[in-house]
Amino acid sequence: MNIIAIGGGGFTHGTDPQLENYILGTVGIAQPKIGFLATASEDDETKITRFYERFKSCGKPTHLPMSSSKAQLETWTLRQDVVYVGGGNTNNMINIWQQWGLPEILRIALSQNITLAGVSAGAVCWFETALSDSTGKGLHPLPCLGLLSGSCCPHFDEADSQRRQSFVKLIADGALQNGIGIDDGVAVHYQNGEIFNVVSARPDARAYVVKASGNEAVTNTLAVNVLPPSIEH
């Protein structure tokens, strides 16, 4: 059972094609069915267009519009080989999914060995909790789907943000579970709920485990496999 969380970047930004190649490589099918959920960006047309441009030559891409009926959700989701979740507003996305009943369908998809992947909001949504600013009240813990234990913070390397500092402090204070911070350009691959591999499309980008230790939090850098430059399939 594969879940792949990307800290930031990827096809929606026109970067890091190695990460998508890696995701496709987990499926083991020449032309996999790849489904895109752009709920977090309210079906942003630019992101959807880039999705089809990225995957049209290496798979069978489709997306699930927000206008879809509830009856279509399960059929569409469970016929994919990969479900890829785009970035945007995590809080809005989770609320909409709950109204649709999609979280349970995604759990079924995972049990059927459909690879679940995503970037930013699409990375943190799989965990119990995310560090998020998506409610407009600053960075704070946000309950998510709980398919992976612990917490997650994307864009961990953003120099002009407070994400790293806030994540570490909230874990030290006990307001967040122990978790993982992921730089842009990095994918953390979970198999059966455990970290299986960490890959980076950028030489200096990494992922980090952050754990409470007494009144502090300790940050440890995970071993990473830097992917060689590649072209899109």
Tens-place pLDDT, residues 18-60? 999 999 999 989 899 999 999 999 999 999 999 999 999 999 9
Angle between helices 70-78 and 102-111 (to 10 degrees): 20
Tens-place pLDDT, residues 55-91? 999 999 999 999 888 889 999 999 999 999 999 999 9
Q: Is residue 193 part of a domain?
A: yes
Q: Is residue 28 part of a domain?
A: yes
3-state helix, strand, coil in the chain (%, to 5): 30, 30, 40
CATH of the domain at 49: 3.40.50.880
Tens-place pLDDT, residues 129-149? 999 888 777 899 999 999 999
Of the residues 41, 63, 120, 189, only one is catalytic, namely 120
Question: What DSSP designation does 201 have?
Answer: S
Q: Is residue 79 part of a domain?
A: yes
β-pairing verdict for 127-132 and 140-143: antiparallel
Q: Is residue 215 part of a domain?
A: yes
How many domains does the chain contain in total?
1
Q: Which domain holds residue 168?
A: 2-226
Active site residue 155: yes
Instruction: Tell me how far apart the alpha carbons of residues 5 and 152 are, in angstroms, rounded to a whole number.
Output: 9
Active site residue 57: no
Q: Is residue 232 part of a domain?
A: no
Of the residues 155, 166, 189, 200, only one is catalytic, namely 155
Q: Is residue 231 part of a domain?
A: no
Q: Is residue 78 part of a domain?
A: yes
Q: Is residue 155 part of a domain?
A: yes
